[in-house]
Structure 1
Amino acid sequence: MDLPRAFTIRESSHRVCNPFTTEKLALLGRAISPSPGTRMLDLACGKGEMLCTWARDHGVSGTGVDISTVFLSAARARAAELGVADRIGFVHGGAAGYVADDPVGIAACVGATWIGSGMPGTVELLRRSLAPGGMMLVGEPYWRREPPDQATVEACHAERKDDFLPLPELLRRFGELGCDVVEMVLADQDSWDRYVAAQWLNIRRWLDANPDDELAAEMRAELAASPVKYATYEREYLGWGVFVLMNH
């Protein structure tokens, strides 16, 4: 059980594996200001940057779950680097269906709502680990602009336009699921650039070091096409944010 290598090649230099900068991740932490000792569960935690930096900055503890052995190795190294390995643990495995042994104050899935077959299912999954009065953090795309055609929809990683919602409708949908939206921090085009454009240099450096790898042709084709595709579609049409929810 692991991620395909292409993912770890693209994001080899990333600390945050979604369209958030480290500054926006820190802003989110300050916005909700968790009390020292708050326990967190982070499903599909990637390289564990949220858990590790919030343990350092806010005194939280908790567990991250991810399918990638490469990302979890980086997460454990980051926890050791920041001196928080005694408070943060990581579990290798699928996050779908994972429920904390004891209720947590913060349950998060930041940018991987496919683990619950979509945002509503992920909210229900997070609820199963949440202590009364706790917060859920959900990272989710939304349409910045109405996609004009199916090519735009597919270039933004959706099958149908209805796979994502405009921001007002997404916020309304959270309410229909029994949640109060109590905070949000949104990616902007610069943070999208730092996520996607940084992948191009990662790919190029990998290609230079691994010209004969079996993935080289695939990654070369991706590098050739990605900049124009990104500037045409994702950068203009696709928004993304982390939404902080509390049960009604």
Structure 2
Amino acid sequence: MDRRTISRLAHAHHPIAAPVADESVARLLARATACTEHGRALDLGCGEGGWLIRTLTARTGWEAVGVDLDAAALTRARQTAEALGVQRRLGLHHLDAREFTDPAGFDLVLNVGATHAFGGLLPTLDAAREHLAPGGRVLVGEGFWEREPDRPALDGLGADRDDYADLGTTVDRVTADGWTPVFGYVSSRQEWDDYEFSWTGALAEWALDHADHPDAEAARAAADLHRAEWLHGYRGTLGFVTLLLRRG
């Protein structure tokens, strides 16, 4: 079973692919889009379009564009948009986010939990800068070390110590790169637990409900491994911060 299929099944009950609850998503988007009644949003790595679709349902004057390499996730995004009646304001591109171009700028550029697509936080911000309209904002979500990671945490994440920094250093790097945080949100332990139990539970439940499927055993094994890596590895070590940024 390929990684994208596993991720899609695991996010069945938690479409936002990050440890951020629905009410936190709504709060972040309200701050991010409050600058104008009519705007354009771009999600570089949109997956099933959770952030964009929520933006369009809350802001009837906004349009949105999503870019992702997962064709099946984009299909789900299109179906959800159609069900909510916002599909005419949503454009979806099956494309590597690094290759996307648009001559017009965007009032909001998002990348929450997908900075790996650009090789890290600062390269992601470099890419976002290229798409911003004057006065535009960036909403970016990234991991950070809540505490010094031990070997089980690093092994569970498949990470190196230098892949993340503590929260203060993370924000310092962003500001040194010319950005000003105008809002931010640190996901709670409860949000992390809800996210991880939802992720592993949805995947395990799919395996139980499709016991005769040739991928059922692989799905169950992936759920069991992920749960162990989280509970016995990085739980309480890896944090997650979502920052709303402006230039200057």
Partner of 1:143: 145
Partner of 1:5: 5
Normalising by structure 1, what TM-score? 0.91
Q: Does the 8 Å CA contact 1:142/1:164 hold for their aligned counterparts?
A: yes
Matching residue's letter, 1:211: A
What is the CA distance between 1:119 and its match in structure 2?
1.0
Q: Does the 8 Å CA contact 2:10/2:200 hold for their aligned counterparts?
A: yes
| Secondary structure, aligned partner of 2:26 | helix
Partner of 1:57: 58
Partner of 2:125: 123
Partner of 2:176: 176
Aligned-partner Cα distance in 1 for 2:37–2:84: 16
Normalising by structure 2, what TM-score? 0.91
Aligned-partner Cα distance in 2 for 1:113–1:52: 20
Q: 1:87 aligns with which of 82, 89, 96?
A: 89
Aligned-partner Cα distance in 2 for 1:95–1:29: 21
Q: Does the 8 Å CA contact 1:41/1:100 hold for their aligned counterparts?
A: no
Identity of aligned residues (%): 28
Q: Does the 8 Å CA contact 2:113/2:142 hold for their aligned counterparts?
A: yes
Extract unaligned runs of 5+ from structure 1.
none
Partner of 1:192: 192
* Alignment CA distance shift 1:180-1:150 (3 Å): same
Extract unaligned runs of 5+ from structure 2.
none
Partner of 1:78: 80
What is the RMSD computed on CA atoms of the aligned residues?
1.8
- Deviation sequence 1:19-63 (CA, Å, 0-9, x none): 111111101012232422111111111111211111121232110
Aligned-partner Cα distance in 1 for 2:98–2:157: 23
Aligned-partner Cα distance in 2 for 1:34–1:51: 16
Query: Mean alpha-carbon deviation: is it higher for 209-218 or for 189-198?
Result: 209-218
Q: How many residues align?
A: 245
| Secondary structure, aligned partner of 1:145 | coil
What is the CA distance between 1:3 and its match in structure 2?
5.7
Matching residue's letter, 2:199: Q
Q: Does the 8 Å CA contact 2:154/2:234 hold for their aligned counterparts?
A: no
| Secondary structure, aligned partner of 1:236 | coil
* Alignment CA distance shift 1:219-1:90 (3 Å): same
